[in-house]
Amino acid sequence: MRERLVDATEAVMRRNGPLGVRIDEVARVAGCSRATVYRHVADKDELVREVLARLARARARRMAATLNGIADPAERIAEGVLRTVEAVRSEWWYQALERHGATGAVSRIGGGPEAFVALATPLVAPFLQRVAAIGMLRPGVTVEEATEWLCVVTTGLLTMDVPTSRTRSQQVAFLRRFVADPLLRRRPR
């Protein structure tokens, strides 16, 4: 039933956008009552979060081969952030928000910033745990804090149209310097 509710929520989101999800419509599309919906989920934010998590897992699988091929952790973080922003901007749910001038809502949909970090943690934390295990995470920076920082940066890049004359490689270098490098232990020169 839960999977059916998530599928129904995605259908509603595709029709009405992420901010237009209503429990009554989800129940109708899923072929059940409102009461049944609430027996399986706490609220519509949980359903929206589930749809976004499913889409994020699919996005992460598509990007994994390329990112896993980048040995340098700072370069991988910078590329990961930029590729995530590029991919999300091309996704239907983000474009639905953008059409309504609501890209700032990205950080609020599906339960807000804490939910956004929780959504990203299973995708980002394993890489950061490996970085920490080889001693490359800066002392005093936890995997949780690093994940939160990457979420904050990604959300900021998604919600702000920052005009830039940087090429893509210059953007990666910028993200490496100001986003990735502060998380990582300095390497001896």
The per-residue pLDDT for range 161-177, each reduced to its tens digit, is 666 788 989 999 999 99
**Does some domain include residue 17?**
no
**Does some domain include residue 67?**
yes
Per-residue pLDDT band for 188 (boundaries 50, 70, 90) equals very low
**Does some domain include residue 23?**
no
What's the domain count of the chain?
Answer: 1
Domain residue limits at 99: 45-183
| Residue in 94, 93, 77, 83 with CA at minimum distance from that of residue 59 | 83
**Does some domain include residue 174?**
yes
Task: Quick: pLDDT tens for 62-103.
Answer: 888 889 899 999 999 999 999 998 998 899 988 888 877 766
**Does some domain include residue 79?**
yes
**Does some domain include residue 170?**
yes
Q: Structure pTM?
A: 0.84
Residue type, 61: R
Q: Rounded to 10 degrees, what is the CA torsion of 71, 72, 77, 79? A: -70
Task: Quick: pLDDT tens for 16-73.
Answer: 988 899 999 999 999 999 999 999 999 998 899 899 889 988 888 888 888 989 999 9
What mean pLDDT do residues 110-119 have? 70
Q: How far apart are CA 26 and CA 10, in angstroms?
A: 9
CB 56 within 8 A of CB 65: no
**Does some domain include residue 146?**
yes
